Amino acid sequence: MPDLINPERPKVIAVANQKGGVGKTTTTINLSAALAEQGLNVLVIDLDPQGNASTGLGIETEDREFTTYEFLLDDVALSSLILGTSTESVSLIPATVDLSSADIELYNNEKRSFLLHDAIQQVGMKDYKFDYILIDCPPSLNLLTVNAMVASDSVIVPLQSEFFALEGLSQLMMTIREVRQTANPRLRIEGIVLTMYDARNNLSQQVEADARANLGDLVFESVIPRNVRVSEAPSYALPVLSYDSGSKGAIAYRSLATELLAKNDQVAA
C-alpha cells in the first residue's frame, strides 16, 4: 500500500444533491469504506433526518442516543456523539428523525449557517485524527445542506444516469456559488459522479455524454454501475465493499476513492 500524506486537518466533503434517490447515501457509505481501505481514518456525519447512512453503517435507531441534532445545537461530548462502526476506520455521527426539526430551529440562531462548521472545528475533533469527513446531506437545499456546504472544502454530486438527470443541477450549482460568495470562499465542486449506470442502456450512455460535454473535468472518470450487490448491502447494514468485496459496485467505489485521492495529491509517488 502506498504511503498516504495526512493533511493537517481533515478534508471535509459534502455529498449533496437536492434530488432524492440518486445514490447520495450509498456513495457516502461506500466511499468512506473505500477510503478506509486505503488506510485513511474517516468520519461520516449523517445530516439526513432519514438516517439512512446511520442504518447502512450498522447503527440501530435505539443506539443513537446522541445525534447530529446535538452536534449542531447542544453541548454534548464528542465521545458520546462519535460512534464506531462495523467498518474499521470509519466512524459516524448518526441521525434520527429529530434532525428534521433542527432546520426550523436554525432559523432563530444568529449563526444558523455556521453551526456545523463550528462543531467540526472544535478543539476536541483534532484528537480523533480524521483524514476525511464525509457529510451525507438531506435531499433538499435547506439550511442543513447550507450548513454542510459552509463547513466543507468541497462537494461531491451524485448524478443518476436517467432522463432529466442534468435538470436541477443548475440550482445546486447556484447554491454552491452563493455559499462560496457569502460564507465559504474555499468551497469548490470536488466532482460529479455518475451513479446507477447501465452500460447496456442507451439512455445511460447519453446522460454520460451530455454530462461530460457540459461539465468536462468536473465529472469523475469512475462510474458507479447499477449493481444488485450495491442495492442489497444496506439491508445487511454493510458497505458493498464488505458485503461483496469483488462485486462491480465495490470495484467502482474503490476506483472512485483512488481518483479522489489522486485529485488531492494524497498518494505519495
Domain-located, residue 2: no
Domain-located, residue 3: no
In this prediction, residue 269 carries a pLDDT of 30
CA pair distance 90, 106, nearest whole angstrom = 28
Query: What pLDDT digit, counting tens, does each position of 75-92 carry?
Result: 899 999 999 999 999 999
Domain-located, residue 135: yes
Q: Residues near 228 by Cβ (< 8 Å), separated by ≥ 6?
A: none
Domains of the chain: total: 1
Domain range for 73 is: 11-263
What pairs with residue 191 in β-bridges?
156
Domain-located, residue 227: yes
Domain-located, residue 269: no
In this prediction, residue 148 carries a pLDDT of 98
Query: What sign results for the dihedral spanned by CA atoms 38, 135, 98, 23?
Result: negative
Statement: the pTM of the whole predicted model exceeds 0.85 = yes
Domain-located, residue 78: yes
Q: What is the CATH number of the domain that holds 89?
A: 3.40.50.300
Which residue is associated with the grid cell 448518526? 94
Query: What pLDDT digit, counting tens, does each position of 103-162 carry?
Result: 788 888 888 999 999 999 999 999 999 999 999 999 999 999 999 999 999 999 999 988
**CA torsion 147→165→207→261, rounded to 10°?**
10
Q: What is the mean pLDDT of residues 66-77?
A: 94
Query: What pLDDT digit, counting tens, does each position of 183-231 carry?
Result: 999 999 999 999 999 988 888 899 899 899 989 999 999 999 999 999 9
Residue 144 buriedness (CB in 10 A; 0-12 / 13-18 / 19+): buried
Neighbours of 227 (CB within 10 A): 20
Q: Which of the 8 DSSP states describes residue 100?
A: G
Return the C-alpha cell found at 64.
Answer: 443513537
